[in-house]
Amino acid sequence: MACKGTDSENTPTKLLLGREEVNHPRLASAFADVLQEADTPQTTPHIRLILPTQNGYIVRSDIFAIRFTRSPLISRALDCTEPRQLLHQVSDDAKMAQILASTAAILVLHDPKDAPAREAMLDADIEMRLSFPWLLENQPRQTTLALFNGVDTWERGEAIYNAAKALGISLIVIDRPGHWISGNAFEHLRQAFLPIDITPNSGLPGRIVTAIRDHGVPVDGIISYADPFLPYIALAAQELNLPTSPPDALFISTDKHKTRQAEGHESLRVSGPEQALQAVAASQLRYPLIVKPCCGFSSEGVARVRDAEELAQAARPLDPQRHGSDFVVEEYVDGPEVDANLVLLDDEVLFWEVSDDFPSPGDTPGAGGSGGGVGSSFIELANVLPSGLPPAELDMLRDSLHASLRRMGFRSGFFHTEARIRDSSMHYDADDGGVLELRKRPTVNQGDSRPSAFLVEVNVRPPGIQASFASACTYGVEFYGLHLLSALNDADRLRALTQPFASLLAPSLSGGIQGAQHWCEIVFVPTERGGVYEGDEDCCEELKRRRPDLAAHIAKSLCFWKRGDEIPDPSTGVLTWIAYLLVVSRESRVTAVRLAEEVRSELRYHVV
């Protein structure tokens, strides 16, 4: 067998079997990669071919790369299909050319020398990862989505554009003139770019509708990842008769005070220190309290206040253009915080998962006020998944969050929510080695209170890239694709792609949520002071090069800055991270947490 023919990028397009040619560009390219590895002094690669056992259309063209990420047996999974491609069942007497023509993927084993002895383990690994309908009976429609606000950088948007390509979804990007996606270098990512004024005001829905109609290409939905724009996009979608969440529901979810009102909890909407002091004095609220912008994001401007002096300080907006001038004042709930992601379709929970959001600096007693620095902020430091909460509390949380979404008016969509567990049986405590972890709370002074969920916020979109990647490599469920499919009401693919791994961690070890292949901690490295980023090398890559023992446990990482970049100081109210790293372990959750702390302590970077 040999590879033959090349395209404009010098990539093989055909396979040669004796005198017979197989015209299969993606398969030829995949085999070329495998054969290139075979030309090295290492052992000849051992591969498995994934073949269909029935006729069907591929659910997305990169699904095997997603599902085999971090497999202990497979080093690479090379997808060999095009989006929406029909694959034919291979008969028992099929010739090699027919087999290759129907190949969906090539799996390359980690250690070819042990391949024969590990056949049973490999079969089990493949079965658990592919225990979902990766072939569909009906071909997905060719669709076009309007993507409003095309993400601020390629690094943050890469997963979105890759998911759209793998699903066969064309994108028309609507954004401000001069956005990076409008450049010629990114032309292949979009069908068109429509520049408009994107100011979030009452005229925005009309500007979106006009741009789409003037372009003349029908769209099947509108989507965005920017919270402030979501209600206006829903209004535009209604005008165009496209599927959307109710605008009223989105006006609630994007306003922290309206969210609190929907939950029936006492909260105050204030503008400025004087109004805040008067409102709290006349209310039933008691310190400590939380003060945060009504339309805030990224935990910016959030403060825990212990008294009137700190309240007056916290109610001064640092940047009204960024978050507005209105604040919500509410009770502070002392309990484990979680991030929970839910996918709903016609009010049915197709998928949900929970990670434990470890305490932020602002959770520490005495860390009151709004000095603007990291020391008193609620910026995320660490998330661990699957959650360590007991199954009963997770069941309660799922039902409570689902009920909250229903009350707001949501029935379908992707929802990234944050909540706290009041009266939880668990709390954070450090062991003798100083490692902080979620542990069983002493039973004293528990009273008759039962655990309950306190909704912090709802985001009608996936979480940030770090949390989305963490869930993808932990459960095999890729969030950006689900968000795109939700905007199209693509029920068949939503049902298929929301199914996690069959069961790789025992439910008793993973908080009752099945389908995780490892424990994962997202290590957030916050910016402690502003300045200019120094260093020619990515700080995460430098760590992995210097500590290969730790690198083996780092599933993914990203340094957000390059040499010469100016990083805002937290005192300005802008909270950023230097980097994030996903640290994983199959051994235990505590091993993942301890490895993550070592990774955090070993990371080196310079801001001057």
Q: What is the pLDDT of residues 137-166, one digit of tens each?
A: 999 999 999 999 988 888 889 999 999 999
Regarding whether 123 and 9 lie in a shared domain, the answer is yes
Burial class (CB in 10 A: 0-12, 13-18, 19+), 65: middle
> pLDDT band for position 433 (50/70/90)?
confident
Regarding whether 123 and 148 lie in a shared domain, the answer is no
Looking at residue 152, its pLDDT comes to: 86
Given a contact cutoff of 8 angstroms between Cβ atoms, the answer to whether 66 and 478 are in contact is yes
Name residue 262's amino acid.
A
Does some domain include residue 132?
Answer: yes
Domain boundary among 218, 244, 270: 244
Does some domain include residue 250?
Answer: no
For residues 313-319, give the mean pLDDT.
80
| Residues facing residue 354 across a β-bridge | 340
Nearest by Cα to 73 from 133, 119, 23: 119
Does some domain include residue 264?
Answer: no
- Residue 107 CA to residue 96 CA, distance in Å, equals 17
What's the token pair of residue 445?
């002074």
Regarding whether 161 and 62 lie in a shared domain, the answer is no
Does some domain include residue 288?
Answer: no
- Residue 246 CA to residue 201 CA, distance in Å, equals 18
- Using one digit for the tens of pLDDT, what is the confidence trace for 349-380? 999 999 999 999 888 765 555 555 555 788 89
Regarding whether 530 and 408 lie in a shared domain, the answer is no
Does some domain include residue 328?
Answer: no
The percent of residues in the chain predicted with pLDDT above 70, rounded, is 90
End-to-end, the C-alpha distance of the chain in Å comes to 56
Does some domain include residue 167?
Answer: yes
Looking at residue 365, its pLDDT comes to: 62
Total number of domains constituting the chain: 4
Give Cα separations from 121 to 110, 230, 428, 580 (angstroms). 13, 46, 37, 33
- Using one digit for the tens of pLDDT, what is the confidence trace for 189-199? 999 999 999 99
> pLDDT band for position 113 (50/70/90)?
confident
- Residue 60's domain spans which residues? 2-136
Looking at residue 221, its pLDDT comes to: 98
- Give the ranges where 315-443 is alpha helix by DSSP (H): 320-323, 391-408
For the chain, what's the residue count? 608
Secondary structure (3-state) at 79: strand
Claim: this prediction has a pTM higher than 0.75: yes
427 against 40, higher pLDDT: 427
| Residues facing residue 330 across a β-bridge | 267, 290
Does some domain include residue 294?
Answer: no
- Using one digit for the tens of pLDDT, what is the confidence trace for 372-411? 555 578 889 999 999 999 999 999 999 999 999 999 999 9
Nearest by Cα to 231 from 356, 408, 108, 403: 408
For residues 5-9, give the mean pLDDT.
55
Does some domain include residue 253?
Answer: no
Domain boundary among 92, 113, 136: 136
Regarding whether 147 and 128 lie in a shared domain, the answer is no
Give Cα separations from 498 to 237, 342, 483 (angstroms). 25, 10, 11
